[in-house]
Structure 1
Amino acid sequence: MESSSSPRCEQFRHGNRLPIALENDSLDAYIAEKRAGRPSMLKPTPTPTREMVNLDGVWRFGLDSRLNDQPWKARLDTPLEAAVPASYNDLFTDAEIRDHVGWVYYQREVRVPRGWSGERILLRFDAATHAARVYVDRALVGEHVGGYTPFDIDITDNVAAGGAFRLTVAVSGDLSNETIPPGKIEVGLTGKRTQVYFHDFYNYAGLARSVWLYSVPETRVEDVTVVTTFTGATGVVDYRVVLVGDAEVRVRLRDASGAVVAEGSGAEGSLEISDVVLWKPGAPYLYELEVEALVADVVVDSYPVSVGVRTVEVRGHEFLINGEPFYFTGYGKHEDTAVRGKGHDNAYMVHDFQLMEWSGANSFRTSHYPYAEDVLDFADRHGIVVIDETAAVGLNMGVVGGLSGTPPFPTFSEQYAGAATHAAHAQHIRELIGRDKNHPSVVMWCIANEPASNEDGAREYFEPLVKLARELDPTRPLTYSLVMFATFQNDQIIDLFDVVSMNRYYGWYINAGDLTTAEMYLQGDIQGWIDRTGKPIMMTEYGADTMPGLHSVWDQVWTEEYQVDFLEMYHRVFDRFPQFVGEQVWNFSDFATTNGLHRVGGNKKGIFTRDRRPKSAAFALRRRWRGLNGRKPGAEF
């Protein structure tokens, strides 16, 4: 056991945003940040010193255009009710609600448990897409911008233990060049405002994840960071604890049976585990780090953190987990189901993981935004590897230019992705890493999907973001998903990153129906990236729209046979390159998109339908992936 500071703990000194303890003179400033919607580092959980009330259910609901001015000052004058968690867009038959641009209002009454006197009382929103203003009775108590990361608001001074209050939440789904993802609002000839966005999935909005009321002690654990490694049979857990108030720190590490295997004291240090059991893809093992804050030897707060001991490394063209080469098989996914939109649903989560396991998938990417933290907790427990992605999708004016890739104006300009966009992107990276840094399932950060990395200005935009991400977490590799317009000849930022992640659609958007020519293009493309970078290469998107039940004996696009042949062609090419480290098909399931003419009922590239019925490709992938077991095809077993 080792409880003093170690050289490994030096990595904790990168990117610190808070001191180890917040003394009284800084507590007021901290509370002010909290009331402004400061992101919470720790997911609320019930402990002997903390309690929670879930606020999910059916809330009163109304559009700003149908409510009085300042509607939060009274009971909402509306006949509508909306489910939480769920996107609001598909709940109603009213088209005006589905396509609303502007603010919507949710409201309900909340009672504070009478035993919470003397505690700090907070509201927690697991997500509000894309911006929120929160009111307790008539008072604005906090705001947050960013639709896929959590925030909490300290309302202690606004409520009383045992009392009730009216909670009103205004949510905006609007996108602009000051948001991540970006977009713009156009006003038509009729005066109607329309949201335009540059990503290919529906812009669902609302309270899509859970809402909580919770209590914490005045003196408490505010943040915990763990980093793990091992040498031989000895595991090491480096930890760092941030406190609010003045207290001592005690930590105990328990194994899966609850037995203490290491313990220590102090706000940072290292714990050693004899005969460590590693967290492995497909064979997860979790320890629990119990962190306690003590005043005069009395425990005033405790918080548990799940710990998976594992390492991640890029070495040459290999991606290593626990020092062993790992080959990604899996999907790009979406949080998308009928009626719920992006609303988190535990039943779908469990079933999706079952389908991934059935198909032989060992990983997925959180395209194109951070998923609910419950999903990552589930991945931790079930040994599924995650590439965790920010909501920075649509940073590419070339998409507007169609297949020519010619933008109407530069992407990296004040017209589109300028200083405000960059600031929002940086904040999103801070919140993503702050939330997900302790999940063993998360092995890589993806800080953007299909940006215009081939355009001038890309390096100036991304280099500071890469620096920030590495300061916040120096332990995980970084990547971004490459758009087809960004080639090995014109990309300007690949040297800043660790893994080449390619999104490619030869045989669909290019050479549709001609898989022979598409195979030649794909082969040359991958070879070019290998020759240029010497880095690990993986495919983070490849796929073909497929209408279930459509069949043909020819290479006819949209048929189930073509989807199978398309994937098999890509796999033949992948298997020719020892530098190739993974394949994630686009997409796990069909999903909702914009109302554009080229999307009939949404994007149909799913291996499963939107209601999770398998297409023929699901069985083909199962045959391939279940034989790989996380190893590169042809690798020695």
Structure 2
Amino acid sequence: MLSTATGTPAPAEATWRPKQPPLTTPWTDQVGPGNALPEYPRPQLTRQRWMNLNGLWDYAGGGEQPRTTRERILVPYPPESALSGIQRHDDHMLYRRTFDVPRDWAGQRVLLHFGAVDQKATVSVNGRRVAEHEGGYTAFSADITDALRPGSPQRLEVAVTDRNDENPYPVGKQRNEPGGILYTGSSGIWQTVWLEPVPAAHIDAVDITPDAAAGAFSLTARTTGTTGERVEAVVTDRDGREVSRAGGPADRPLRLPVDRPHLWTPDDPYLYDVAVRLVDARGRTVDRVGSYAGMRSIALVRDAQGRPRMALNGRVVFQHGPLDQGFWPDGSYTAPTDAALRSDLEQTKRLGFNMVRKHVKVEPARWYYWADRLGLLVWQDMPSLPIDLAEAPGSNPPPSAAAREHYRDELVAMIDQLRSSPSVVVWVPFNEGWGEFDTVRVAELVHRADPTRLVDPSSGVNCCYSLPDSGAGDLYDDHTYVGPGRPPVEGRRASVDGEYGGLGLALDGHLWPGRPQAYEMTHSREELTRRYAEVSDDLAGIVRDTGLSAAVYTQTTDVENEVNGFLTYDRRVLKPDPEVVAAHNRAVIDAGTP
């Protein structure tokens, strides 16, 4: 078990209490200062000792950078959320707290980690600047050892600027003025903040790439402070039996062959445990971390009719799942609890799907951990740059040079952050042309950053604000509402319905303030279930006739005024009959899986 040490919040005159959200979830009342996301936040690089800094912090926000904190906020819930206790947007934010370094950390380096802070963050410890970070979706860390003061509480300060869609950063569907398919923004700290002690020479990351055809893992331990230390890695199966061992220089790939490997699939999401040690010339352990890995491949193949299809582990498997937005009525961008985060994926499995498209958002590491564990293929979108969707297609100016630079930087960082997750099989750089630019070059950039996965360069290339089809990438992606779409399957790329559906049902008592919207509105559970069955039957016929490779239904949950989810926004009602939905989803998968 991983142990946690508790930091001491800074004193403040203000008190904290949660605000009342327009809708509560089953987990809203479980959240408080003593249990704000207490789980270990980085499942693919684990250590035994760490300190969670989630909880109450001093806070101030406004139109200018504040200097004095007069409120309290519950981290890591964004200020716009009810769970934060603030429930408003501030362009500029100031977070402060103190913590004590445990005595048994003496002689170690101390690392400070942030899961994500939106958009620009400057971090100081005891008045000394230790980190600056731009971009709201990727993790960052700082070695704060030299800023610590022995024998006294340590003062931590995070100054943040986030003007949401008015700044040239990827924002996904966040907006200062939400409405329709655009939602309330989330600013500031919105993922776990934590500390860990490490030796001077230590492991920073473990990159694991499966080679299912060869039955081997490639593992690279990225390190800091090494002076000739070696890496030793051991792979064990679920029963704890060693199945592979290798050693070699740090920061170099190790090959770990596995005899008769157990392949990872959505029906059997088998994961191996991985232990990695950094050892010195005398064989003494300098640092050790834990991880896990799944053996699987993703590629394009030709089916019996010569059509390009998506194949998992060398076999054509139809990929079917919902569009997953990742918004919460109580926590905004942040799920109230880890159980809530897991629950959406469990419901996706219950509905018979084998895939999920994470739509223009990057989730905390634990979301991908649950996708890996539960067995869902993940299509990972890059959060889009802001555009004005009220303007007609073609009227938005191209992204500025600064926006393009921020986009490329965060795209590569996202890929690097998620590269070891076996569930992630497709990267989606652009959606419906939102902030699209240099499509061919961006697709090539993604392929260079990760040649082991497929690239869907322009989801919804047939519609909306998309630039003309560039022919780049591995997939041709059609969006048709209600649909399903019937794109041709030809050439070298597989064809997919990247979005379809959008059948709505508004349920009193489970609605966000405002007018409910959907692509097609139904008026009862029975009508919604019947229409879903009809659309699914049409989809199954298209799959059989054309060789379509995948389909993404809109969507997992209602989001604010959109009511086309399987679940209400508060996650309290599963709207259609789940048995009927699951049966039709399995029939579609079977239709496309020879």
* TM-score under structure 2 length normalisation: 0.81
1:420 paired with 2:402, answer yes
Aligned to 2:238: 256
Aligned to 1:544: 503
User: In the TM superposition, what is the alpha-carbon distance from 1:158 to its structure 2 partner?
Assistant: 0.6
User: In the TM superposition, what is the alpha-carbon distance from 1:445 to its structure 2 partner?
Assistant: 1.0
Distance 1:183 1:557, change over 3 A: closer
> Which residue among 359, 364, 371 is the counterpart of 2:356?
364
Aligned to 1:585: 553
Partner amino acid, structure 2, of 1:171? V
Contact 1:390 1:446 in 2 (8 A): yes
How many Å separate the matches in 2 of 1:556 and 1:585? 13
Contact 2:173 2:183 in 1 (8 A): no
Aligned to 2:280: 295
Superposed, 1:522-537 pairs within 5 Å as 526-527=486-487, 529-530=488-489, 534-537=493-496
1:114 paired with 2:73, answer no
1:335 paired with 2:326, answer yes
Aligned to 2:473: 497
Aligned to 1:19: none
How many Å separate the matches in 2 of 1:277 and 1:533? 30
Partner amino acid, structure 2, of 1:341? S
Partner amino acid, structure 1, of 2:498? M
Distance 1:564 1:393, change over 3 A: farther
How many Å separate the matches in 1 of 2:456 and 2:125? 41
How many Å separate the matches in 2 of 1:184 and 1:276? 42
How many Å separate the matches in 1 of 2:521 and 2:344? 27
Distance 1:179 1:536, change over 3 A: same
> Which residue among 170, 186, 189 is the counterpart of 1:180?
170
Superposed, 1:317-328 pairs within 5 Å as 317-328=308-319
Contact 2:385 2:434 in 1 (8 A): no
Identical counterparts, % of pairs: 21
How many Å separate the matches in 2 of 1:556 and 1:319? 30
Superposed, 1:34-113 pairs within 5 Å as 45-47=45-47, 51-65=49-63, 69-71=66-68, 76=69, 78=70, 80-91=71-82, 98-113=87-102
User: In the TM superposition, what is the alpha-carbon distance from 1:217 to its structure 2 partner?
Assistant: 1.3
Aligned to 1:143: 132
User: In the TM superposition, what is the alpha-carbon distance from 1:178 to its structure 2 partner?
Assistant: 1.8
> Which residue among 443, 456, 465 is the counterpart of 1:466?
443
1:307-337 CA distance string (max 9 Å, x none):
1111111124211111111222221112222
Count of residues paired in the alignment = 527
How many Å separate the matches in 2 of 1:357 and 1:88? 32
Aligned to 2:295: 309
Superposed, 1:412-491 pairs within 5 Å as 412=398, 417-451=399-433, 461-480=438-457, 482-483=459-460, 486=463, 491=467
Aligned to 1:408: 395
Aligned to 2:384: 392
How many Å separate the matches in 2 of 1:160 and 1:44? 31
Deviates more, 1:430-439 or 1:58-67: 58-67
Contact 2:356 2:377 in 1 (8 A): yes
> Which residue among 534, 557, 565 is the counterpart of 2:521?
557
Deviates more, 1:433-442 or 1:139-148: 139-148
Aligned to 2:374: 382
User: In the TM superposition, what is the alpha-carbon distance from 1:240 to its structure 2 partner?
Assistant: 2.2
Distance 1:434 1:452, change over 3 A: closer
How many Å separate the matches in 2 of 1:422 and 1:133? 22
Deviates more, 1:362-371 or 1:111-120: 111-120
User: In the TM superposition, what is the alpha-carbon distance from 1:196 to its structure 2 partner?
Assistant: 7.9
Deviates more, 1:617-626 or 1:309-318: 617-626
User: In the TM superposition, what is the alpha-carbon distance from 1:570 to its structure 2 partner?
Assistant: 3.5
* TM-score under structure 1 length normalisation: 0.76
Q: Tell me the secondary structure at the aligned position of residue 341 of structure 1.
A: coil
How many Å separate the matches in 1 of 2:536 and 2:586? 14
> Which residue among 120, 124, 148 is the counterpart of 2:113?
124
1:114-133 CA distance string (max 9 Å, x none):
22222221211111122322
5+ long unaligned stretches in structure 2: 1-40, 303-307, 510-518
How many Å separate the matches in 1 of 2:469 and 2:152? 55
Distance 1:541 1:353, change over 3 A: same
Distance 1:196 1:361, change over 3 A: closer
Q: Tell me the secondary structure at the aligned position of residue 78 of structure 2.
A: coil
5+ long unaligned stretches in structure 1: 1-40, 186-193, 507-518, 593-601
User: In the TM superposition, what is the alpha-carbon distance from 1:626 to its structure 2 partner?
Assistant: 4.0
How many Å separate the matches in 2 of 1:293 and 1:342? 36
Superposed, 1:564-583 pairs within 5 Å as 564=529, 566-575=531-540, 576-577=542-543, 578-583=546-551
Tell me how large the CA RMSD over aligned residues is: 3.2
Distance 1:329 1:182, change over 3 A: closer
Aligned to 1:347: 339
1:17-51 CA distance string (max 9 Å, x none):
xxxxxxxxxxxxxxxxxxxxxxxx97685536xx2
Q: Tell me the secondary structure at the aligned position of residue 188 of structure 2.
A: coil
Aligned to 2:270: 285
Distance 1:378 1:483, change over 3 A: same
Contact 1:503 1:541 in 2 (8 A): yes
User: In the TM superposition, what is the alpha-carbon distance from 1:478 to its structure 2 partner?
Assistant: 0.6
How many Å separate the matches in 1 of 2:46 and 2:434? 44
User: In the TM superposition, what is the alpha-carbon distance from 1:538 to its structure 2 partner?
Assistant: 2.9
Partner amino acid, structure 2, of 1:239? L
Partner amino acid, structure 2, of 1:557? M
User: In the TM superposition, what is the alpha-carbon distance from 1:589 to its structure 2 partner?
Assistant: 0.7
How many Å separate the matches in 1 of 2:432 and 2:277? 43
Q: Tell me the secondary structure at the aligned position of residue 287 of structure 2.
A: strand
Q: Tell me the secondary structure at the aligned position of residue 496 of structure 1.
A: coil
How many Å separate the matches in 2 of 1:44 and 1:227? 13
Partner amino acid, structure 2, of 1:52? W
Contact 1:312 1:476 in 2 (8 A): yes
Distance 1:314 1:532, change over 3 A: closer
Partner amino acid, structure 1, of 2:219? Y
Distance 1:532 1:272, change over 3 A: closer
Contact 1:42 1:223 in 2 (8 A): no
Question: Which structure has greater helix proportion?
Answer: 1
1:127-156 CA distance string (max 9 Å, x none):
112232222232332221221211112211
Partner amino acid, structure 1, of 2:185? N
Deviates more, 1:197-206 or 1:421-430: 197-206
User: In the TM superposition, what is the alpha-carbon distance from 1:479 to its structure 2 partner?
Assistant: 0.8
1:571-601 CA distance string (max 9 Å, x none):
3432223421222221111113xxxxxxxxx
Contact 1:127 1:150 in 2 (8 A): yes
Partner amino acid, structure 2, of 1:277? H
Distance 1:447 1:197, change over 3 A: farther
How many Å separate the matches in 1 of 2:73 and 2:472? 44
User: In the TM superposition, what is the alpha-carbon distance from 1:556 to its structure 2 partner?
Assistant: 7.7
1:236 paired with 2:216, answer yes
How many Å separate the matches in 2 of 1:197 and 1:117? 52
Aligned to 1:274: 259
Q: Tell me the secondary structure at the aligned position of residue 425 of structure 1.
A: helix
Distance 1:217 1:195, change over 3 A: farther
Q: Tell me the secondary structure at the aligned position of residue 261 of structure 2.
A: coil
Contact 2:124 2:157 in 1 (8 A): yes
How many Å separate the matches in 1 of 2:440 and 2:267? 35
User: In the TM superposition, what is the alpha-carbon distance from 1:492 to its structure 2 partner?
Assistant: 2.8
Contact 1:310 1:440 in 2 (8 A): yes
Aligned to 1:625: 585
